[in-house]
Amino acid sequence: MKKINFIISKKRNEKISKIIYYFENLSYKFLDESVKFEIFSDKLDQDIPLLKKICIDVNYTLEKVSVKNWIKEVKKKDISSETELFIFHQGFKDISTTKNKIIIPAGLSFGTGSHQSTILIIKIFEKLNKKIVFNFPLDIGTGTGILSFILNKKLKKKIYATDISSDSKDNFEKNKKINKLNNLLFFKSFGMNNINLKKKKFDLIVANLLLNEHKSIITNVCKHIKRRGFYFISGILDSQINYFIVLLRCFNLRLYDSMKLNGWACLVFRKY
């Protein structure tokens, strides 16, 4: 097991999001002007070329880590993050809290609760859920299932979840069991492209995707939002906000609310 250490300027948002997206066994810390990364790797021959593909001029150092130390390190970092109502962790420790605990063990899918794009969408949901009643939610690109799980816990409604990846399906079902949740339906689907979703309209659609992934499904997704329904868009950068405001106006959706964190943005649109 090796640790790949490097630092990247905070301004390189797109690269930072890709690194976090492609490497699961990593930790990172936001410093004043930069982000400090540690990627734990037991297949350097694949991970180094991938890192260089994302960030051609990266300057890294390698450090030997024993497997025992690596597991210890993961366990030490058991709490990934928390919001007003939830704590997300990997289930290594018994955490005493009055908040809702969601266990997401590290796996092949994205969504442990440690990424800003996930935290932002959860925070904005917690805020709006105080004044709006959501009845029929869909989570597009569910990954580990994290957003579906918090919707299920808070709304007590049936949750529809989709992802294009088969790893996500396995992960979602496993995490659903670990968290003892039910009334959640997963469909493997590219956007809305599944027979079970084709005729459905939702009053809340949440999607935490990268810019190009949003672009490839957005036109179709807009058709599946009920009148006065909501579309939460996360995974985008500050600089991409206007693109979505202009585009979604063409589909009768207006910006209703937004939140920002460390260069990331989450937008809430409402259909009129």
Ligand X SMILES: C[S@@+](CC[C@H](N)C(=O)[O-])C[C@H]1O[C@@H](n2cnc3c(N)ncnc32)[C@H](O)[C@@H]1O
Ordered DSSP codes for 110-157: S-SS-SHHHHHHHHHHHHHTTT----SEEEES-TTSHHHHHHHHHH-S
Q: Report, in Å, the least distance between residue 118 CB and ligand X.
A: 4
Strands 60-64 and 264-271: unpaired
Nearer to ligand X, 47 or 163 (CB): 163
Nearer to ligand X, 41 or 112 (CB): 112
Q: Report, in Å, the least distance between residue 272 CB and ligand X.
A: 26
Q: Report, in Å, the least distance between residue 196 CB and ligand X.
A: 14
Q: Report, in Å, the least distance between residue 253 CB and ligand X.
A: 19
Strands 137-140 and 159-163: parallel
Nearer to ligand X, 73 or 170 (CB): 170
Nearer to ligand X, 3 or 120 (CB): 120
Give the interface with ligand X as residue ranges (CB under 6 A): 109-111, 118, 140-143, 146-147, 162-165, 168, 190-191, 208-209, 213, 216-217, 235
Backbone angles phi, psi at 64, to 5 degrees: -80, 135
Q: Is residue 14 within a helix (H) or strand (E), and if so which, with residue range? A: helix 13-22
Nearer to ligand X, 48 or 105 (CB): 105
Three-state SS at 237:
strand
In this chain, which residue has its C-beta nearest to ligand X? 141
Nearer to ligand X, 3 or 109 (CB): 109
Q: Report, in Å, the least distance between residue 200 CB and ligand X.
A: 15
228: left (phi over 0), alpha (psi -120 to 50) or beta: left
Helices (H) and strands (E) in the chain, counts: 8, 14
Nearer to ligand X, 190 or 251 (CB): 190
How far is Cα 34 from Cα 196, in angstroms, rounded to an integer? Answer: 44
How far is Cα 67 from Cα 115, in angstroms, rounded to an integer? Answer: 25
**Hey, CA dihedral for 194, 168, 172, 161, is it positive or negative?**
negative
Q: Report, in Å, the least distance between residue 212 CB and ligand X.
A: 9
Q: Report, in Å, the least distance between residue 153 CB and ligand X.
A: 15
